[in-house]
Structure 1
């Protein structure tokens, strides 16, 4: 790929300096003065770029690799061509993430829509009772409601809506088109385009003439350093709060129902739906397109495979998958048995047709 105007290359850092920043070992010190300006995939990495190889499955990409350095773990080192300097580390993916953050810091969070804009843009609407600390940026067409409070270093993107009484901490990024109402956000929170935070939860009671709406008077609490993907929705609580714990990362197009409590440093992938009043522990990983039943508990460190249907509690540290979700080894055994039966039926049908 040619020069990318959206995320231009870094001015350059020496390979020796990069190795030190990553805590990696540069195997060929004579290459230490090479300048690294950007990251790239292995197959098309060129001079001035660094890439990483996570497994031997990517070996074929090395044939077209002309990177100035490649990050890998010791087990992968023997397959790297001798002409490519190696940065050796036990955690190549982590090192590559650190390299990307150093070389392309603007890609870490939603950027400004209006070039050079600082402070409150004249085309934004900020209620006179809102309180903005120094260094807050409000882009065109953004709306800041009554009594809202926003901390220094935070940017509110174009067309975003921050509701009345919302509190947003310092160094946050609210991308264009997002809405935040009935919510309290900590420091370092990133909310991507089109996310909806704090709207009604889904609650109704049967009445003589149809469904009666149950009022939702809780809040959404988002702790420090949480990232929420584009078009994700997080409903406010019915009477208690919906809580997203510190450091948790939520992908695009996730639905989180009212009164859900998510622990710290969880990872929730695109398409997941979490029904109301579910409790999710710390360090839980939930694969894409999984459905989580309401009023259940998923224990600390549990892992849920993609496209699973979780209908009951999951113990801490467990690995579950399937519909209904069950211990992963049981799910894989069931899949293997089903495939074997399918193959047997196909063979019998073939024998009858001969």
Structure 2
């Protein structure tokens, strides 16, 4: 059984309030139509909330804005500003069960594993994998063929690293991450100018991060490149050394984020955009595709354009540009 108060503690950044009545726990997460007394269900609007109140479920996740509609019910409630995201996190935190491509736990005979490395017996290690000294790989991990894992790397449980990946030294990868084929994490940028002998620089990926194919996250020499919990990075993404992505960011294909840039929670950016080095982006910012972020964004909202501007201004500019040929004809006629 999963205690409601445990959810409140572990997911405190998403849970706004809880109201506990007859049940203080739940056993599973089900659609409203299939709910039992042991179920938690999700209702993000008044229509579904009414159905949830009429169902057998005794625990309901819903929007904090609907709190007044729940006041007369004898069910227990978990209120959130973004209830669908909270349910996703509950599923990830309590019910996630990584399936390692139906592979049985085994270590390929062609794998080269340093004697000081600690690889859990439940892991699958593919052909020609190289694992350096002092590497720690927890249970139920999958490492695909021809992957290189350098010294002092730590990989938490239920993580998948697909074929032909590179994991640089001192990288820390959290639970249930997915690193897709031919990606590089923790390599030094070709433009670094200081020695890495002091061993301070590293890349940190928190739990539930997904990285698309042929993406790259660079390692700084004396600081940290940080990717927050539940961030999703598409194919061909470049994260430069020292960048910081807070939790729940969504980075689509072809995006480049400059060194030491800081992106707040729930940052979403469209394809082929560029974030200038050292820029700071507030929480809950959405940038459209091909946006050039050349300055700090201090307020949440939607942005776009080159250079970046509020989305409303950007769309107005695009409409105006489309009228230039017509205006030229008018000017020639009146000349």
TM class by smaller structure: 0.5 to 0.7
Indicate the residue corresponding to 2:183 in structure 1. 197
Counterpart pick for 1:100 among 91, 103, 122: 91
Give how far 1:287 is off. Answer: 1.7
Q: Separation in 1 of the partners of 2:306 and 2:48? A: 34
- State the Cα deviation string for residues 118-166 of structure 1 (Å, max 9, x = none): xxx1545431535322636431535431635421525441535431635
Aligned pairs (5 A) from 1:108-257: 110-113=98-101, 117=105, 121-123=106-108, 125-129=110-114, 131-133=116-118, 135=120, 137-139=122-124, 141-145=126-130, 147=132, 149-157=134-142, 159-163=144-148, 165-175=150-160, 177-181=162-166, 183-184=168-169, 185-188=171-174, 190-192=176-178, 194-198=180-184, 221-225=202-206, 227-229=208-210, 231-235=212-216, 244-245=225-226, 247-257=228-238
Aligned pairs (5 A) from 1:56-75: 56=46, 58-59=48-49, 62=52, 65-72=55-62, 75=65
Cα contact 1:215–1:238 (8 A) shared by 2:
no
TM-score, length of structure 2 as denominator length: 0.67
Q: Structure 1 residues 310 and 339 mapped into 2: Cα distance closer, same or farther (>3 Å)?
A: closer
Deviates more, 1:271-280 or 1:86-95: 86-95
Cα contact 2:179–2:213 (8 A) shared by 1:
no
Q: Structure 1 residues 314 and 182 mapped into 2: Cα distance closer, same or farther (>3 Å)?
A: same
Q: In the alignment, does 2:67 pair up with 1:87?
A: no
Counterpart pick for 2:41 among 44, 47, 51: 51
Q: CA RMSD in A?
A: 4.6
- State the Cα deviation string for residues 89-146 of structure 1 (Å, max 9, x = none): 456737645643564142xxx33445773xxx15454315353226364315354316
Q: In the alignment, does 2:23 pair up with 1:32?
A: yes
Q: Separation in 2 of the partners of 1:312 and 1:95? A: 29
Indicate the residue corresponding to 1:301 in structure 2. 282
> SS state of the match for residue 305, structure 1?
strand
> SS state of the match for residue 3, structure 2?
helix
Cα contact 1:19–1:26 (8 A) shared by 2:
no
Cα contact 1:198–1:236 (8 A) shared by 2:
yes
Q: Structure 1 residues 122 and 27 mapped into 2: Cα distance closer, same or farther (>3 Å)?
A: closer
Indicate the residue corresponding to 1:322 in structure 2. 304
Q: Separation in 2 of the partners of 1:67 and 1:325? A: 50
Give how far 1:311 is off. Answer: 1.8
- State the Cα deviation string for residues 299-339 of structure 1 (Å, max 9, x = none): 053554253333242315244512336343xx225547988
Cα contact 2:243–2:262 (8 A) shared by 1:
yes
Indicate the residue corresponding to 1:76 in structure 2. 66
Cα contact 1:308–1:324 (8 A) shared by 2:
no
Q: Structure 1 residues 95 and 298 mapped into 2: Cα distance closer, same or farther (>3 Å)?
A: same
Cα contact 2:158–2:176 (8 A) shared by 1:
yes
Higher relative strand content? 2
Cα contact 1:271–1:288 (8 A) shared by 2:
yes
Give how far 1:198 is off. Answer: 1.9
Q: Separation in 1 of the partners of 2:276 and 2:90? A: 41
Cα contact 2:135–2:150 (8 A) shared by 1:
no
Q: Structure 1 residues 291 and 76 mapped into 2: Cα distance closer, same or farther (>3 Å)?
A: same
| Aligned length, in residue pairs | 305
Q: Separation in 2 of the partners of 1:95 and 1:59? A: 16
Q: Separation in 2 of the partners of 1:318 and 1:54? A: 26
Cα contact 1:148–1:163 (8 A) shared by 2:
no
Q: Structure 1 regions of 5+ residues with no counterpart?
A: 1-12, 204-213, 343-354
Q: Structure 2 regions of 5+ residues with no counterpart?
A: 9-16, 323-335
Q: Separation in 2 of the partners of 1:194 and 1:337? A: 39
